[in-house]
Amino acid sequence: MWLVTLYRSTIGKKSIMAVTGLVLVAFVIVHMAGNLQVFLGPAKMNGYSAFLKSTGELLWLVRLGLLTALVLHVLMAWQLTRVAAAARPHDYARRDARASTVASRTMRWGGVLLLAFIVFHLLHFTTGTLFPTASRPDAVYPAFSEHDVYGNVVSAFHNPWVVAVYVVAMLFLLLHLFHGAWSSVRTLGLSKPSPQPLHRRIATVVAIVVWLGFTAVPVAVLLGVVR
């Protein structure tokens, strides 16, 4: 079947990487915009969260889609890394890269760090596992409430260490998006080869807007702008 043939080829794996990456980019843009509601107060933000949770099966369908995209994205990264290592067991004596950036050179390790952040983040804000409970009253963060996302965000980001984790993770997200948002459209042939591959207006704007929007929330809480 053509789908299996595509999956087995390097370009097929790269295309899966690009498509799933773009799905994840769309998610982070929507999530970042949703988070900015923290500046509109608890009623707005908690209302938005309650609305999302009230969609029931639809929410689970979106979660399943996102999880599938993430698993495929990580799996393809792993397989492509192995293919590349097998094709060139010894590195070049000299690298003369055309469009190498810090972002492109940190895609693999930065990606692993982002994956670790996502696991931490889900345990933090979605399941509340990292918040204290009656049996763990000494945990670092104040109490977690499924119905008070605003309260969870404000209390969690009173801790400068938690803010530091999020700020550093968002810097890795900035780098990952700067390279990924550009290379995915190149892989899919949606943009033409350019003589100036470092001029990437859309990827730069997407990466900076997402970074600013996400970072603003923990920083605003720490500075007391949101309380």
Residues that bind ligand HEM (CB under 6 A): 28, 31, 35, 49, 52, 63, 118, 121-122, 125-126, 149, 153, 166, 170, 173, 214, 217-218
Question: To which H or E segment does residue 122 belong?
Answer: none
Measured from the CB atom, the residue of 116 and 118 that comes closer to ligand HEM is 118
Supply the minimum distance, in Å, between the C-beta of residue 217 and ligand HEM.
4
- CA 109 to chain CA centroid, Å, is 14
Secondary structure (3-state) at 111 = helix
Supply the minimum distance, in Å, between the C-beta of residue 160 and ligand HEM.
14
Supply the minimum distance, in Å, between the C-beta of residue 18 and ligand HEM.
17
Contacts of 60 (CB under 8 A, 6+ apart): none
Measured from the CB atom, the residue of 9 and 126 that comes closer to ligand HEM is 126
Supply the minimum distance, in Å, between the C-beta of residue 150 and ligand HEM.
9
Q: Is 219 exposed, middle or buried (0-12, 13-18, 19+ CB in 10 A)?
A: middle
Query: Which residue is closest to ligand HEM by CB?
Result: 49
Measured from the CB atom, the residue of 31 and 82 that comes closer to ligand HEM is 31
Supply the minimum distance, in Å, between the C-beta of residue 84 and ligand HEM.
24
Measured from the CB atom, the residue of 79 and 145 that comes closer to ligand HEM is 145
**Closest among 175, 36, 195 to 107, alpha carbons compared:** 175
Supply the minimum distance, in Å, between the C-beta of residue 116 and ligand HEM.
11
| Contact (Cβ atoms closer than 8 angstroms) between residue 76 and residue 21 | no
Measured from the CB atom, the residue of 62 and 185 that comes closer to ligand HEM is 62
Contacts for 215-218 with beta carbons within 8 Å, 24 or more apart?
215/166, 215/167, 215/170, 216/36, 217/35, 217/36, 217/38, 217/153, 217/157, 218/157, 218/162, 218/163, 218/166, 218/167
DSSP state of 142: P
Measured from the CB atom, the residue of 28 and 112 that comes closer to ligand HEM is 28
Residue 73, amino acid:
H
